Amino acid sequence: MVKKKNFKSIAISTSSSEKNIPIIAKQLIEVLSNKEIEILLDKNLSLETNKKYKSYSEKTIIQRADLVIAIGGDGTMLNASRRYGSKGIPILGINLGKLGFLTDIAPEELTSSIIKVIENDYIEDKRFFLEAAVSNKKESFLALNEVVVHSGAIAQLIEYNLFVNDEFVYRQKADGIIISSPTGSTAYSLSGGGPIIHPNLDVLILMPMFPQTLSSSPLIVSAESSIRIELLDKTNKKHLSFDSHNSISLNGEAEVLVSKAKSELTLIHPKDHNFYESCRNKLGWSSSPIKE
C-alpha cells in the first residue's frame, strides 16, 4: 500500500472571476494557517491579505507546493490540472461552478473537508491526459477532457480520414470529431451524445460531431491507441481545441495525432467521494433505488 503524502505546503489557485472567491479563499487560509501549513497564493488570485501571505509565480508553486487547491468550477480545475497537475502536483477542487465533476467540495463543507485532507483522510484518483500534435507544428498540447478538431464556423463541415494505430477506420464529413478521455466523458462529449465512461477505465472515446451519415456512432478504443486524423479539405480553415479553452488554427491538409500522455493527474477527494453519486447529483439521475 502506497503511503499517503502529508501536505505541508499548499497553493491556492483560481482562474474564475466568481465574486465569492475572496471569501472562500480567506476561509481556506484561516483553516490552513491554524494547521501550520505553508500557504502559497497563485498570482491569478486577487486577494487583499496581510503581507504574511504572498502571491507566487507558477514556477515557484511548482517547485514548492505539494498540493494545489483550486477554487471555482471545472474550468478552474482544468486550468490548474494543466499548469500544476501535469507537473506531478495533486489537485483538490472547491466547487463554485454549476456541475463541478472535478471540484467536489462544496463551500459549506470546506472547513471539515480540508481538515480531513490535511489529516490524511482522503482518497487519490488517478487520471490521464491527452497529448495532441500537428504534423506541421513542432509543439504538442495537453488536454484533460478532450481534443476537438472542428471547422470553427457555423454549419460548416470538414472532411477527414480517421486512423487508429495506423489502421483506416472511416472517411467522414462532419462538423468535427471529439477525442475524449474518460474524464471528459461527462463534458463536451456527453453533450454530443457520447457515453459516460467510468474514470478508472483506460479507454478513449472517438465522437463524430453531427456527421453527414445515418450510421455513425461513437467508437471506444484502448487508451494505448494512437489516433490520427487526416484532414482532407485544403480550402477551409480548421481548428484544434483543447478542453474547450485553448485553440489553434490548422491550415491545409494537416494531420492531427492524439495519444495518451506520459504525464498523469492525481485528484484528491474526500474519502466519501463516489463517482455514481456525482452523476446522480449533477445529471439528475434517480436519487434512490426503487423498492418493491
Just list the catalytic residues. Answer: 74
Rounded CA-CA distance 167/216 in Å is 18
133's grid cell: 500534435
CB 184 within 8 A of CB 241: no
Among the listed residues 283, 277, 257, 261, the one whose alpha carbon sits nearest the alpha carbon of residue 104:
277
Distance CA 24, CA 58 (A): 21
Q: Which of 9, 16, 200 is nearest to 90 (CA)?
A: 9
* Number of residues that make up the chain: 292
User: Does the CA dihedral 116-118-123-127 come out positive or negative?
Assistant: positive
**DSSP designation for 196:** P
Q: Which of 42, 239, 254, 281 is nearest to 153 (CA)?
A: 239
